[in-house]
Amino acid sequence: MSDLTLAGASLAARCFVGLQLVLPTRALSRLVHSLTRVRWTPFKNGLIHAFIRGFNISLAEAEIERVEDFEHFNAFFTRALKPGERALAPAPAFISPVDGRISQHGPLNDGQLVQAKGHHYAVEALLGNTDWAQTFKGGDFATIYLAPYNYHRIHMPVAGQLRAWRYIPGRLFSVNGMTASAMPDLFTRNERLVALFDTEHGAMAMVLVGALFVGGIETVWSGAVTPPHQRGAPGPIITPPTPVHLARGAEMGRFNMGSTVVVVTAAGMTRPTAGVSEDGRIRLGQPISMLC
């Protein structure tokens, strides 16, 4: 297992990676997808109540505040917020697209992103396209992990027009900190959706990374992308037949169960801002960096 784990990883992390390598992760994710859409009232209400207790979740900020009013668990998990619950930092802030934890952020040095301390992976492998990787030469990135208790809709950090997108099949390993510290190239092993946007400040890629128990990835322009969790070569690059313009702060997609978003920006598009730290919690609308 040594070639499948990173140097310096803890024994617990190595064992967790080893367990995932033998688990039927796609089958388990399909099962979770089915269970989270069960509409039988005793089951779905019991599951939601257990989740709320386990993760200390409040529904006070949600549009739907009564457990009984959700049609199934996934409707609760991807619940909308009340208008105004997430104030957007004023321009020129480049805002967080999600509630979560910034696991890594910084410049793309030699086309490499940081996965964990001392360990890197290639932006070309993440995006699955050489030309797209060249677009972001000398740019910056931010990786944001969504915990189960987080709000799970994904929004635009800056206004933009969708240039193209593609689905890239892959595995469904956990993307939590333990796995990220131990498994090489984690985010390029997992299935993901890559969306390339043009903004008035430069190009931006948003990568929605699938994970263990993530029952589905959706976008506002294509609807459900997964399941099915496919195998094989990356899907085609799709150019939208009609323009897709999304405002700053507008929803662009969602995770049906939690995962990770990686945002990549072109060279000279953003600059660091005070108060943003790795491993720090962040909420939708708060600044990740500043637009140049």
Which residue numbers are catalytic? 99, 155, 259
Q: Burial level of 38, CB count in 10 A (0-12/13-18/19+)?
A: middle
Supply 265's token pair: 């920006």
24 vs 29: CA distance, rounded Å: 9
Q: Burial level of 56, CB count in 10 A (0-12/13-18/19+)?
A: exposed
Q: Could you give the strand order of the β-sheet that contains 153-155, starting from the edge strand earlier in sequence? A: 153-155, 251-256, 216-219, 223-226
Write down the H helix ranges in the chain.
11-22, 25-35, 41-55, 73-77, 123-127, 130-135, 177-180, 186-189
217 vs 152: CA distance, rounded Å: 11
Supply 170's token pair: 């892959």
7 vs 183: CA distance, rounded Å: 9
